[in-house]
């Protein structure tokens, strides 16, 4: 059979699903419907003179390996570049200084002890509390063979990232190291951010070993922490980007699809089930498909699926989203007075500053700025400072220039300025998120031929999204490959 499959949404979720559906079901008749006049969603790249500006993500992780593996399958791995060697690492704002992250620290786990004991980020009291982590009791006791679910098939109890770090390592490690690092990834409130949904492997270490210190010792003996321990910048070897910016990922996915698959400026008004088929109405025109993949943001997705999976739609609407602005400055190196030999920095909320983080994009990857210049991307807003996004673009630029003057001694007139706003673009994985995802997927499983693909469920990064799109593509392909007729009610 050659099923007709509609993919609604031309962002990364929809394109990754379409590309992998084409690989798994090469004879399927695919139609990708995008409401706007461009593909990529929050991923875009702009060439401004000799500056190359990514408007969203500027790299992706090779762990999980889904993204790099898809690049291999599509024959574009040779177009990928690694971060530059010099300047690898991140710093944390402390007063008017950018202090290096303790060597070997990974999100909320120290793979080396001495850097934690010598860092100026923590007071003596904070360091002593950190050392007590190995003696702190674990919630629910230790389960050396601890699987993902308990004997009753229930998920492990959830808590916030703040609660986990506070009870294991103390308030200082939370406020001065973990919270800003987490906010730099999720633009979230760590007091609401789900530990199980965002830092599941770390939570599992506590279940299996009783403490992160004992888990780290076991990983060191087995050699699993060799990359993390080698240096603060070694982990950047696990990232890749395209030479021409991340828009090349979008064009690669689009180019892998058969001609006439993609339809831009095609807003979907409704989807309706008709027996074993689906009618998708686009600009007043009904079209018939065997399968529909909804790959749009949560609010839009809930509107489309509500008539068919009301429970899933209701749960989807409860997933909040945060907004952010990226202020981009192209500056002369000579106008920056302090050392910025780093890939970027994060800012603890306790510092009272008006920025979340900064990235020196031209330090990370070659070809991002002309000789003698630096391309900086500074993040504002997020879940904790949404009021700042009410400022005008001009006000945001001035705000960022003031903060950079204080932190890195930048006092010049930028040659390039851009303000990129992403409203409600970052799903918030709050406590209880995984249970919500289970309820959504159970409700969707009761509807034949209708699937949901969104970064609001299983991960916000490029690699997790591509991984989930691959799982979805294989499940749809398996149903059609096992039967020469419409798929049965048994869902993968």
By three-state DSSP, how is residue 373 classified? strand
Same domain, yes or no: 210 and 294: no
pLDDT of residue 247: 98
Residues 328 and 307 placed together within one structural domain of the fold: no
Q: Which of 11, 3, 4 is closest to 469 using CA atoms?
A: 11
For residue 311, which of 447, 157, 196 has the smallest C-alpha distance? 447
* Domain final residue pick, 198, 229, 260: 229
Does 328 share its domain with 469? Answer: no
Strand-pairing partners, residue 160, are 194
Task: Describe the crossing of helices 200-209 and 161-169 by its angle, rounded to 10 degrees.
Answer: 40
Q: How far apart are the first and last CA of the chain?
A: 18
CATH number of the domain encompassing residue 398: 3.90.660.20
Q: Pairing mode, if any, of strands 373-381 and 357-360?
A: antiparallel
Residue at 49 is within a domain? no
CA–CA distance, 310 with 147 (Å, rounded to integer):
32
Clarify whether residues 63 and 212 are in a common domain.
no
Contacts of 88 (CB under 8 A, 6+ apart): 231, 232, 233, 234, 236, 343
Asked if residue 454 is part of any domain, the answer here is: yes
Number of helices and strands in the chain (H, E): 18, 22
- Residue 123 has a pLDDT of 97
Let me know whether 420 and 438 are in one domain: no
Last residue of a domain, one of 396, 412, 427: 427
Q: Are 385 and 268 part of one and the same domain? A: no
Task: Give which of 151, 157, 154 is closest to 432, Cα–Cα.
Answer: 157
The pLDDT of residue 234? 55
177 and 105 in contact (C-beta within 8 Å)?
yes
Does 52 map to a domain? no
- 393 with 330, same domain: the answer is yes
Cis before 64 (ω within 30): yes
239 forms beta bridges with: 61
Write the CATH number for 127. Answer: 1.10.3110.10
Residues 129, 216, single domain; the answer is yes
- What range does the domain containing 294 cover? 4-41+247-319+430-481
Structural domain ending residue among the three candidates 406, 427, 448 = 427
Q: Looking up tokens 């699987």, which residue turns up?
A: 147
CATH number of the domain within which 308 lies: 3.50.50.60
Cβ within 8 Å of residue 400, ≥6 positions away: 327, 329, 355, 378, 380
Q: Do residue 205 and residue 284 come from a single domain?
A: no
- What's residue 340's pLDDT? 95
CA distances from 492 to 149, 445, 451 (A): 19, 8, 11
**Tens-digit pLDDT profile for the chain (492 aa)?**
699 999 999 999 999 999 999 999 999 999 999 999 999 999 999 999 999 999 999 999 999 999 999 999 999 999 999 999 988 899 999 999 999 999 999 878 999 999 999 999 999 999 999 999 999 998 866 666 655 655 556 678 899 999 999 999 999 999 999 999 998 889 999 999 999 999 999 999 999 999 999 999 999 898 877 666 555 555 788 999 999 999 999 999 999 999 999 999 999 999 999 889 999 999 899 999 999 999 999 999 999 999 999 999 999 999 999 999 999 999 999 999 999 999 999 999 999 999 999 999 999 999 999 999 999 999 999 999 999 999 999 999 999 999 999 999 999 999 999 999 999 999 999 999 999 999 999 999 999 999 999 999 999 999 999 999 999 999 999 999 886 554 444 433
DSSP assigned state of 335? G
Shared domain check, 434 and 312: yes
Residue 254's pLDDT is what?
98
Same domain, 299 and 441: yes
Q: 140 and 154 in contact (C-beta within 8 Å)? A: no
Alpha helices in 322-411 (DSSP H): 361-364, 393-408
Residue 270: partners with Cβ closer than 8 Å, 6 or more residues away: 280, 281, 304, 307
Look at residue 492 and tell me if it is in a domain: no
46 part of a folded domain: no
Q: Which two tokens stand for residue 325?
A: 């602005």
Within a domain: 375: yes
**Total domain count for the chain?**
3
DSSP strand pairing (29-33 vs 4-8): parallel
Residue 258 Cα distances to 22, 33, 79, 294, 345, angstroms: 8, 14, 22, 20, 42
The DSSP line for 322-334 is: EEEEEEEEEEEGG
313 and 434 in a single domain? The answer is yes
Specify the pLDDT at position 491. 39
Asked whether 182 and 428 are in contact (CB, 8 A), the reply is no
- Is residue 50, in this structure, part of any structural domain at all? no
Say how far apart CA 399 and CA 407 lie, in whole Å.
13
């Amino acid at each position: 059979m050659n099923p007709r499959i509609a993919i609604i949404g031309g962002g990364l979720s929809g394109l990754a699903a379409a590309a992998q559906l084409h690989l798994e079901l090469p004879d399927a008749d695919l139609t990708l419907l995008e409401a706007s006049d461009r593909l990529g969603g929050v991923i875009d790249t702009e060439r401004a003179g000799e500056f190359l500006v990514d408007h969203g993500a500027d790299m992706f992780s090779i762990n999980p390996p889904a993204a790099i593996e898809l690049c291999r399958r599509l024959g574009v791995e040779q177009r990928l570049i690694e971060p530059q060697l010099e300047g690898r690492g991140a710093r944390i704002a402390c007063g008017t200084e950018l202090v290096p992250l303790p060597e070997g620290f990974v999100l909320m786990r120290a793979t080396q002890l001495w850097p934690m004991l010598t860092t100026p980020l923590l007071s003596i009291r904070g360091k002593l509390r950190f050392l007590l982590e190995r003696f702190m009791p674990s919630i629910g006791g230790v389960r050396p063979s601890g699987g993902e679910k308990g004997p009753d098939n229930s998920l492990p109890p959830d808590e916030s990232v703040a609660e986990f770090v506070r009870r294991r390592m103390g308030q200082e490690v939370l406020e001065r190291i973990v919270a800003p690092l987490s906010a730099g990834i999720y633009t979230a409130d760590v007091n609401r951010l789900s530990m199980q949904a965002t830092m599941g492997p770390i939570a599992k270490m506590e279940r299996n070993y009783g403490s992160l210190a004992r888990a780290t010792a076991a990983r060191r003996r087995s050699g699993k922490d060799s990359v993390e321990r080698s240096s603060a910048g070694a982990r950047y070897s696990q990232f890749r980007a395209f030479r021409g910016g991340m828009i090349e990922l979008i064009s690669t996915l689009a180019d892998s699809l058969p001609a006439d698959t993609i339809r831009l400026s095609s807003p979907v008004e409704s989807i309706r089930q008709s027996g074993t088929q689906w009618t998708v109405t686009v600009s007043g025109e009904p079209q018939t498909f065997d399968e529909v993949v909804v790959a749009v943001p949560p609010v839009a997705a809930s509107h489309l699926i509500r008539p068919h999976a009301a429970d899933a739609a209701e749960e989807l609407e409860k997933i909040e989203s945060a907004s952010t602005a990226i202020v981009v400055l192209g500056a002369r190196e000579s106008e920056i007075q302090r050392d910025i030999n780093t890939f970027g920095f994060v800012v603890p909320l306790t510092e009272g500053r008006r920025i979340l983080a900064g990235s020196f994009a031209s330090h990370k990857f070659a070809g991002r700025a002309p000789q003698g210049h630096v391309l900086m991307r500074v993040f504002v807003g997020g879940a904790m400072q949404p009021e700042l996004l009410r400022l005008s673009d001009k006000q945001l630029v001035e705000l960022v220039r003031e903060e950079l003057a204080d932190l890195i001694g930048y006092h010049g007139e930028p040659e390039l300025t851009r303000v990129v706003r992403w409203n409600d673009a970052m799903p918030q994985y709050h406590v209880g998120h995984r249970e919500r995802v289970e309820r959504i997927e159970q409700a969707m499983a009761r509807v034949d031929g209708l699937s949901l693909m969104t970064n609001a469920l299983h991960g916000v990064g490029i690699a997790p999204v591509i991984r989930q799109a691959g799982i979805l593509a294989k499940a749809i392909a398996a149903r059609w490959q096992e039967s020469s007729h419409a798929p049965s009610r048994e869902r993968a």
